[in-house]
Amino acid sequence: MTVDAIYARLYEQGVRCVCLCPGARNAAFVKKLPKTMESINFFEERSAGFFALGRIQQTKKPVAVIITSGTAVGELLPAVMEAYYAMLPLIVVSADRPKRFRGSGSPQVAEQEGIFGFFAETYEADWVLDNRPIHINVFLEDPIPRPPLLEVTERAGHYPLCLLGALDANEYARLRAVLPRDVPLLAESLSGFWDTSLQEIRLLDRLREAAYPVDCIYRFGGLPTSRLWRDLESFDIPVISWTKLPFPGLARPSVRYDLSCETFLELLDKRNRLDLSFFDRDAELKNSLHALLERFPASEPALMKRAAEALVTKEGSVFLGNSLPIRIFDLVCSHVQAKRFYASRGLSGIDGQLSTFLGTLDGSSCIGFFGDLTALYDLAAPWVMSQVKAPFVICIMNNHGGRIFDRLFHGDARFQNEHNFDFSGWAEMFGMRYVKIDGAAAIIAEQAQVYELVPDYTQTQAFWEAYDRF
């Protein structure tokens, strides 16, 4: 069923109010919302579900909650349970990646069919509405256009590029021991290979220009965060993964081995060498990127770099919250060393991030970086502080909304859930020392438990514009 047809059917069945929780996956629902329906925006799906229950009681009409994929769907379970026992027509419309992605473990692909179990049936079309909650699972093509899928063969290539996702200590040690220094690597902070990663900027093109036409991808460890991984869904490049995860992480054909398998050494032996001058040129590119940060010192990436340099220690750990923090950290903080990196990349939800971070505390210096909506999602997290009694620093990058969608959807405000809140009152309520850093000059030193970093929007825009021209 198309998005228009779903809206038409909902209207026919009496829906006049939609609780809209925007994400990239449900973009079509955001863009095609009919004027005949009132829409109320949320970033927090659990509240949206309960709000809808109130509306249903007040208006005696069904209400639809429209959500994106991933853990967002699970956040509706409590409201669905309540609706079941209270006999309220709550309609959960969840966007999903295309059906062919099922079971692939590709980013943000969760099994949604029957997710509400006993409490709500899942439909793809032809749903029946009575006084019960229902779940409509909608399969949508990617909202961001991609190149067409070409024929994929499982040939072993001669110009491999290695992608490193999260590695545990054993995996890290094994790879460190065997990976030759001259193999081109795109390594995420979660891999620990912070010192040998190339810059992601136009990487495939730059390698091709250096007479190294990448013709296979060797991926190690957890699901990569990089854009490149998502793009591989439609590139004609064979992908081989060595991972302990039970799924390949791509819906298209690829090969998956257990990390104990040594085949990659044999494959690496067959490789052609990359001219070592490429690494110098890559270092120059990194310097240009850092010069850009100096030009825009109050931009979001520059603030992130400054905070990471001031607060992260080699003996401590770093938790990277989802959305922009993990991406910007990978982009501009690859030189920042820590004993351990954590993140929640199973489904990359923005829920429960502060709590997960507080669960990782081990008595050393632990710093977590989070977006503002991510922090707002988990305001109750510091409840546990008095029982855990371990030091921590929470850095909230308050760009006043879901700015990741600013770049994805070219400034379309409907996706961003803009706000003007700050976190001082929240910090005070839990007795956490709080400092706001809202200019390029403010000094960051480990004296607070909550840093609110407020980037300058214009400088951030200027940074990304210059970055896109690299």
Ligand X SMILES: Cc1ncc(C[n+]2csc(CCOP(=O)(O)OP(=O)(O)O)c2C)c(N)n1
DSSP state of 27: H
Chain-centroid distance, C-alpha 242: 22
Q: Collapse the DSSP code of 7 into the 3-class scheme (helix H, G, I; strand E, B; otherwise coil) and give the result.
A: helix
Q: Is 323 in the site for ligand X (CB under 6 A)?
A: yes
Q: Which part of the chain contacts ligand X (CB under 6 A), choosing from 28-36, 246-254, 320-328, 424-432?
A: 320-328
Nearer to ligand X by C-beta: 167 or 453? 453
Q: Report the C-alpha gap between 55 and 59 in whole angstroms.
A: 6
Among 344, 399, 449, 459, binds ligand X (CB under 6 A): 399
184 binds ligand X (CB under 6 A): no
User: Considering only residues 145-164, where is the footprint of ligand X by CB under 6 A?
Assistant: none
Tell me the per-residue interface mask from 33 to 52 with ligand X, x by CB under 6 A, - otherwise.
----------x-x-------
Closer CB to ligand X, residue 191 or residue 460? 460
Q: How far apart are CA 171 and CA 220, in angstroms?
A: 9
Task: State the minimum distance, in angstroms, from the CB of residue 374 to ligand X.
Answer: 3
68 binds ligand X (CB under 6 A): yes
- All residues at 6 or more sequence positions from 40 whose CB lies less than 8 Å from its CB, including other chains: 17, 18, 19, 20, 48, 51
Residue type, 403: R
Of the pair 15, 404, the CB lying nearest ligand X is at 404
Closest listed residue to residue 175, CA positions, set 245, 249, 268: 268
Q: Which amino acid is at 146?
A: R
Minimum separation from the CB atom of position 66 to ligand X (A): 12
Out of 351, 378, 452, 456, the only residue in the binding site for ligand X (CB under 6 A) is 351
**110 contributes a contact to ligand X by CB under 6 A:** no
User: Please, which residue, 30 or 207, has the CB nearer to ligand X?
Assistant: 30
CB 226 within 8 A of CB 241: no
> Least separation, in Å, of the C-beta of 138 and ligand X?
16
Q: Does 70 bind ligand X (CB under 6 A)?
A: yes
Residue 97 contacts ligand X per CB under 6 A? no
- Please say which residue, 305 or 403, places its beta carbon nearer to ligand X: 403
d(CA 15, CA 92): 12
Q: How far apart, in whole angstroms, are the C-alpha atoms of residue 456 and residue 441?
A: 12
**Member of 303, 404, 444, 448 binding ligand X (CB under 6 A):** 404
Under rule CB under 6 A, residue 189 binds ligand X: no
Q: Which residues contact 168 (CB under 8 A, 6 or more apart)?
A: none
- Among all chains, which residue has been given the structure tokens 């707002």? 376
Residue 416 CA to its chain's centroid (Å): 15
221 near ligand X (CB under 6 A): no
For residue 138, give the nearest of 97, 188, 185 by alpha carbon. Answer: 97
Hey, what are 269's tokens?
A: 């032996």
Nearer to ligand X, 69 or 365 (CB): 69
Residue 250 lies near ligand X (rule: CB under 6 A): no
- Per the listing, tokens 């030091």 go with 391
The CA distance from 218 to 50, in Å, is 45
Note whether 358 binds ligand X by CB under 6 A: no
Residues at the contact surface with ligand X, assessed by CB under 6 A: 23, 43, 45, 68, 70-72, 75, 322-324, 348-351, 371-374, 397, 399, 402-404
